[in-house]
Amino acid sequence: MGAFFLTGTRHGPERPGGPPGRRRRPPAAPPGRQAVLGLNAVREALENRPGDLERLFIQEGRRASPRLAEVLALAQAQGLAPLERPASFFQRFAPGATQGVAAFLRERKPLSLEEALAKAPAGPTLLLALDHVTDAGNFGALIRSAAAFGLGAVIFPKDRQAPLSPQVLKAASGGAEKAPLVQVVNLASALDALRAKGYWLIGADGAGRETLPDFQFPRESVLALGSEGRGLSPLIAGKMDFTVRIPLLGGMESLNVSVAGAVFMYAFRAFFPAP
């Protein structure tokens, strides 16, 4: 089957005194805590989970900005004093990606599928099912889009999938605090359970039989997205009620998985506008 997705290889930076591709481990969060990186992710954690953020770190000499002032005001209202750290402290988390702001947040376990369905909003609902998306940036971007377009849940497998790491939360830009996240042991079984509950399964596929502009979304839909470079696995693809493609111009053969996912989510929301 065709796919929308591109793949790439990422390597860590070279540092003096060590082999290429290796860098110092990031500062360890206390047990039961998780690092949150970047202004947006930290702000959303403060706004949506008051009391769960335990330590706030600000880079020494960081230039003041309205967004930073907003984060500091939220922290102060919750009795949280920022701790200054050197730039090297933040580079160990994710070079160039923290904006000089990080925090330790109490870990929140993903929901079960049953919990997410019980909390799903009334009316037309789109769920996102990820078939082993391994890139942290793509995973985080998909969570961000799911929050932006009001999806009922983001469902992802336990194994062969990017974990909910600080890099994923950073790319989600606060979306992880808004989009219901569901981790399952077996994605195929989860899809079977959703079909039994009346959901229709839609596979995003570059060789899909239907085109997105003409597709009539069912009111209760599950959008399945495949891994970078490979698309949907044969097992998951075989379960789809529909396979849908995005028409592309300019000789382009594919889109990044997070871009394709956002296009599908927008199309669903345009078909069923939010109240």
The residue range of the domain holding 89 is: 33-106
pLDDT computed for residue 124 by the predictor: 95
- The pLDDT tens digits of the residues spanning 233-250 come to 999 999 999 999 999 998
Judgement on whether residues 84 and 186 belong to the same structural domain of the protein: no
CATH (domain of 74)? 3.30.1330.30
* Listed residue (138, 127, 133, 132) closest to 256, CA to CA: 138
Q: What's the total number of domains in the chain?
A: 2
- The pLDDT tens digits of the residues spanning 86-110 come to 888 887 776 666 788 888 888 778 8
- The pLDDT tens digits of the residues spanning 184-213 come to 999 999 999 999 999 999 999 988 999 999
Judge whether 258 and 36 are in contact, CB under 8 Å.
no
pTM, full prediction: 0.77
Kindly tell me the burial class for residue 218, based on how many C-beta atoms sit within 10 Å of its own C-beta (0-12, 13-18, 19 or more).
buried
* Listed residue (240, 197, 243, 254) closest to 220, CA to CA: 197
Confidence of residue 274 (pLDDT cuts 50, 70, 90): confident
Judgement on whether residues 173 and 101 belong to the same structural domain of the protein: no
Question: Which carries the bigger pLDDT value, residue 183 or residue 17?
Answer: 183
